[in-house]
Structure 1
Amino acid sequence: MTLYLYRLMGAATLDAGMYESIEADRGTTVQAAITVLLASLAAGIGASGWYGAHPFTLVAVSVVACAVWVVWAVLIFHIGTRILPSTDTRVTLDELLRTTGFSAAPGLLLSVAVVHGMSVPVFVATGLWMLATMIVAVQHALDYASPWRALAVCLVAMTIVITLTVTLGVVWGPALS
């Protein structure tokens, strides 16, 4: 448990060495999944500040967050290895799942958003922090020398996810009248 907390702190503080050790340690895959699950539960609790406490909100946000983690990792894997690889890029999907899973560490604070008036600031600040940890995670998993290429990979993946989300919302969402 102490080692897990140490890894969470290292990931949250953008510690490059921590991301390298997480990437290399196959035993951290379950811990990465636990991190995503805990962050998604915290997001569900925090989102109840907007929608009120409802078990469905907690479960729905958690399921969506876990699915998004896997989709992001797969997208980043393909974008980072096929579209924007560096000469040093050597990565497996498992390595990306581990590093990107731990990049969700700041999301553990999302439960604070349940406090009245704190929802928007907490979600915005934590979202930006999680983007920063994601960039560091991607940089080290894909063995990039610079964070700029990792940022580009994250932005391309984010554009695809947003486009798919909006498209699915338009197709299957309720009709506006």
Structure 2
Amino acid sequence: MNTFVNRMIRAAKLDAALYESVEHDKSATAQAAGVVVLASLAAGIGVVGQLGFGGLIAISLSALISWVISAAIIWFVGTKLLAQPQTEADIGQLLRTMGFAAAPGVLRVFEIIPLLGAIVGLVVWVWMLATLVVAVRQALDYDNTGRAIAVCLIGWVIQIVIAGLLGGLLFYGGDNPGMTGGAI
């Protein structure tokens, strides 16, 4: 079986040894990016009719940018705020493990199926949370899953705050939309 596909399957199976392997394999960074792109394309299949091919490209670029930002945030939280004595990681290690954690996302292509799509989406979302926690635990060399969950939650909150600030700057020029005094 293709090494790339095999790695994706093992990542989806929450195989801690796989996450340890890609953490230390610098050549796996491109594969991790490939997983992120495949998962984003699968998620975007349902909106192709609305956004077209350009929309799929935009979704993939957005996913790659989000992946890098998320890895940087998780790295900071995990190595600076909630590190354990044995924690030793760089952003590349988090990029690789977190990229492979997106492997279940390829199943989002089935969200296009009427009635079943929402169930598939929920199952894949929960599954990806689990793979992310394992990826973070392994990349940060934690000895317990609870700390990895905490890092993921804190990182998620930080990412939402950053997205909100950036969204405000992009959509409102930095002004509070409720305080501009402009016509509605």
What's the TM-score once normalised by structure 1's chain length?
0.90
CA distance in 1, matches of 2:164, 2:70: 16
Q: CA deviation at 1:152?
A: 0.6
**Could you say which residue in structure 2 is the equivalent of 1:142?**
140
Q: CA deviation at 1:59?
A: 2.1
What secondary structure does 2:59 align onto? helix
Q: CA deviation at 1:42?
A: 0.9
CA distance in 2, matches of 1:103, 1:44: 18
2:113 to 112, 115, 130: 115
**Could you say which residue in structure 2 is the equivalent of 1:98?**
96
Verify the 8 A CA contact 1:45 1:53 in the aligned structure 2: no
**Could you say which residue in structure 2 is the equivalent of 1:44?**
44
CA distance in 1, matches of 2:89, 2:8: 22
Verify the 8 A CA contact 1:135 1:154 in the aligned structure 2: yes
Which structure would you say has the larger Rg?
2
* Deviant stretches of 4+, over 6 Å: none
**Pairwise mapping of residues 13-162 of structure 1 onto structure 2 (< 5 A)?**
13-46=13-46, 48=47, 52=50, 54-162=52-160
Q: CA deviation at 1:3?
A: 1.4
**Could you say which residue in structure 2 is the equivalent of 1:172?**
170
State the one-letter code of the partner of 2:132: M
CA offset digits 1:126-145 (Å, max 9, x no partner) = 11111110100000000000
Question: Percent sequence identity over matched residues?
Answer: 41
CA distance in 2, matches of 1:138, 1:168: 25
CA distance in 2, matches of 1:26, 1:164: 28
Verify the 8 A CA contact 1:28 1:98 in the aligned structure 2: yes
What's the TM-score once normalised by structure 2's chain length?
0.86
Q: CA deviation at 1:60?
A: 2.3
In structure 1, stretches of 5+ residues that fail to align are none
Provide the aligned C-alpha RMSD in A: 2.0
In structure 2, stretches of 5+ residues that fail to align are 179-183
Q: CA deviation at 1:17?
A: 0.9
Query: Which deviates the most, 73-82 or 160-169?
Result: 160-169
Verify the 8 A CA contact 1:44 1:59 in the aligned structure 2: no
Instruction: Summarize the Cα distance change of 1:71–1:30 in structure 2 as closer, same or farther, 3 Å threshold.
Output: same
CA offset digits 1:102-134 (Å, max 9, x no partner) = 001001111111222344322222111111101
CA offset digits 1:25-84 (Å, max 9, x no partner) = 1221111111111111111113x18x7462233222211111110001000111111000
**Could you say which residue in structure 2 is the equivalent of 1:3?**
3
Query: Which deviates the most, 144-153 or 55-64?
Result: 55-64
What secondary structure does 1:54 align onto? helix
Q: For this pair of structures, how many residues does the alignment match?
A: 175
